[in-house]
Structure 1
Amino acid sequence: MKTVVITGGTDGMGAALARHYLREGNQVVVVGRSRAKFEALLASLAADGVAATGRASFLAADLSLVAESERVVEQIRASHERIDVLVLAASFIRQKRHETAEGHEASWVLFFVSKYILLTGLASLLADSDRPTVVNTSVPGAKAGAIDFDDLESAQRFSFVRSNAQQRRANELLGILVTSDNPALAYITWGPRRLVRTSLAGDVGRAMKIASVLLGAVAGQRPDDAIAPIITFVADPPAGRAAYRGATQVALVQGPHDTDDARRLAAETTALVTGR
C-alpha cells in the first residue's frame, strides 16, 4: 500500500487522482479548502462499493498562506512515516495581483512557495520510500529567463502571463534542488496536453469563466482521462527530473545558470518564509 499526498485533491484532476488511488487500496491524504467536496468524494466511492474509511484523510488548508503550508507539513509529519507519491495540484487562478493577510502575493505563494515548503518539509518522508515520486502539475516549458529575481512577488509590475511564466520556471528549478538532495527522487513537471473540464476555481473575470466553460464543453477532456499519463508515470517513475505534456515527454528547458538560479531561488524563498 502506497501513501499518496495530493494537494488540490478535492476538485478536478486532483480529485480524480484521489479516487483512483483510493480505489487501488492506497492510503491517501487530501489537502484542500473544502471538506464538503472531500466528503462528496468519499460518498461517490462508497456508492461504487469502495470503502475508503481509515485510508483517506483530509487536511483543510489555504496554501496561498505560508503558515498554512507549514501547518500541513507538521500535521503530515506527525501522522505519517513515509510518503511514496506527492502530487502538487492545488490551483486558484487570479487574473490580478492579490496580497494576502501575510503580505505576500497570493499566486506566487500558492503556485511556488507552498510547493517549496512541502517538498523541503516532507523530504525525509519521501526519502524513506523505495521509489519516491513527485508530480508537479506546473506546465513545463517556460523560458530560462522567466524569473525576475528583483521582483519575485510582482510588486513592481504584474501581468497574468508574466506571473504564470515565473511560477512555471521556478517549479522547474525546484526540481534541480530536490533531486540534488535525493537522487532517488522522480520529479515530474507535468501539464495536460489539452484543456481539462474543471470548475476553474479562482478570481477571474466573467468572460474568462464563460470561455472556460464553453471551451471545456466542446474540446475539454474529462479529469479522469487527463490523469491517465500521471498514473502511468507513478506506476513506473522515470529517474531524476522529467517533463511531460500529457503522455508526451518534452525537453527540460536548460538555462546557462540553472544551478545558481536554483540556489538563489531557494535562498530568496527561505528568506520569504522565515521573514514573514
Structure 2
Amino acid sequence: MRTIVITGGTDGMGAALARHFLRAGDRIVVIGRSRAKFDALLATVTSDDRSAAARAEFLAADLSLVADSRRVVEHLQAKHAWIDALVLAASFIRQHRHITAEGREASWVLFFVSKYLFVTGLAAPLCAAERPVIVNTAVPGTRADAIDFDDLEMSEGFTFARSNAQQRRANELLGILAVTDNPDLAYVTWGPTRLVRSSFAGEVGKSMKIAAAVLGTLLGQRPDVAVRPIIGIVDAPTPGRAAYRGSKELALTVGDHDDEDAARLATAVEDQLR
C-alpha cells in the first residue's frame, strides 16, 4: 500500500487527488485548514468503500506559518517509515504583501518555505520508498534570474508578478537539491494547461474573484480532469527532474549557475529560519 501526502488536499485539485488515491486503495495524508472539508471529501469515498476511512488521515495546518509546517513534518517523520508520493498543492492567493503573526511574508512562506521544509524534512521517508515522487504544483517556466537573493521576502518593490515568478523559480531550484540527495527521486514541477474550477481561495480583488468564477465556469477544467496527468506521474514516476503543463513535458529552465543558485537559496532559507 502506497503512502501519499497531499498539501492543500481539501479543495480543488488536491481534493480530487485525495479522492482518486483513496479509491485506488492507497493510504492518504491530507494537510489543510478545514476539517469540515476533509470530512465531506471522505464521505464521498466511504459511501462506496468503508475501508477508506482507515486509510485517510487529516492534519490541520496553515502552511503560511513556519511553525505549522514544522509540526506537520515532524509528525510525518515520526509516523511514516516511507512516503511514496508528496504532492505540494496548497494555495492561497494574495495580491499584496502580507506579514503573518510570525513576522514573515505569507506568500513566500506558503509557496516556497513550507515546500522546502517538506521536501528536506521528508527526505528520509521518501528515500525509503521504492519509487518516490514529488509533484510540486509550482507552474514551471519562469526566468532563471527571478530570485532576489538579497530580499527574498520582498520588503521593497513587492508586486504579485515578481512574487509569483520568484516562488516558481525557487521551486525549480528546490528540485536540484532534492534529486542531488536522492537520485532515485522523481521531482516534477507541474501546472495545468488551463484554468481549473475551484473555490479560488485567497485575498484578491472583487474583479479577480468575479473573473475567475465566470471564466472557470465557462472555460475551466473540472479538478478531477485536470489532475489526470498528475495521477499518471505518481503511478509511473521517472527519476530526476521534469516539468509539465498538463500532460505535456516542457524543457527545464536552465540558468548559468543553477547548482550554485540552489545551494545559495538553501543557505538563505536556513538563515531565515534560524
TM range (shorter): over 0.9
Residue matched to 1:92: 92
Query: Does the aligned pair in 2 maintain the 1:45–1:51 contact within 8 Å?
Result: no
1:189-268 → structure 2 map (5 Å cutoff): 189-268=189-268
Larger mean CA deviation between 236-245 and 41-50 belongs to: 41-50
Query: Does the aligned pair in 1 maintain the 2:7–2:87 contact within 8 Å?
Result: yes
Larger mean CA deviation between 51-60 and 192-201 belongs to: 51-60
Residue matched to 2:176: 176
AA matched with 1:251:
A
TM-score (normalizing by structure 1): 0.98
SS in 2 for 1:241: strand
Give the Cα–Cα distance (whole angstroms) in 2 for the partners of residues 140 and 266 of structure 1: 19
Residue matched to 2:76: 76
CA RMSD in angstroms comes to 0.7
AA matched with 1:39:
D
Give the Cα–Cα distance (whole angstroms) in 1 for the partners of residues 49 and 133 of structure 2: 29
SS in 2 for 1:58: strand
Residue matched to 2:110: 110
AA matched with 2:253:
V
SS in 1 for 2:53: coil
Give the Cα–Cα distance (whole angstroms) in 2 for the partners of residues 9 and 43 of structure 1: 14
Q: Number of matched residues?
A: 274
Query: Does the aligned pair in 2 maintain the 1:11–1:37 contact within 8 Å?
Result: yes
Deviations 1:70-118 (A, max 9, x none): 0001111121111000000000000000001111100000000000001
Give the Cα–Cα distance (whole angstroms) in 1 for the partners of residues 243 and 156 of structure 2: 31
1:47 aligned onto 2:47: yes
Query: Does the aligned pair in 1 maintain the 2:23–2:49 contact within 8 Å?
Result: no
Query: Does the aligned pair in 2 maintain the 1:23–1:50 contact within 8 Å?
Result: no
TM-score (normalizing by structure 2): 0.99
Query: Does the aligned pair in 1 maintain the 2:31–2:58 contact within 8 Å?
Result: yes
Give the Cα–Cα distance (whole angstroms) in 2 for the partners of residues 48 and 227 of structure 1: 21
Shift of 1:51: 3.3
Shift of 1:50: 5.0
SS in 2 for 1:200: coil
- In structure 2, list runs of 5 or more residues that go unmatched: none
SS in 2 for 1:270: helix
Give the Cα–Cα distance (whole angstroms) in 2 for the partners of residues 208 and 258 of structure 1: 35
Residue matched to 1:31: 31
Give the Cα–Cα distance (whole angstroms) in 1 for the partners of residues 100 and 68 of structure 2: 12
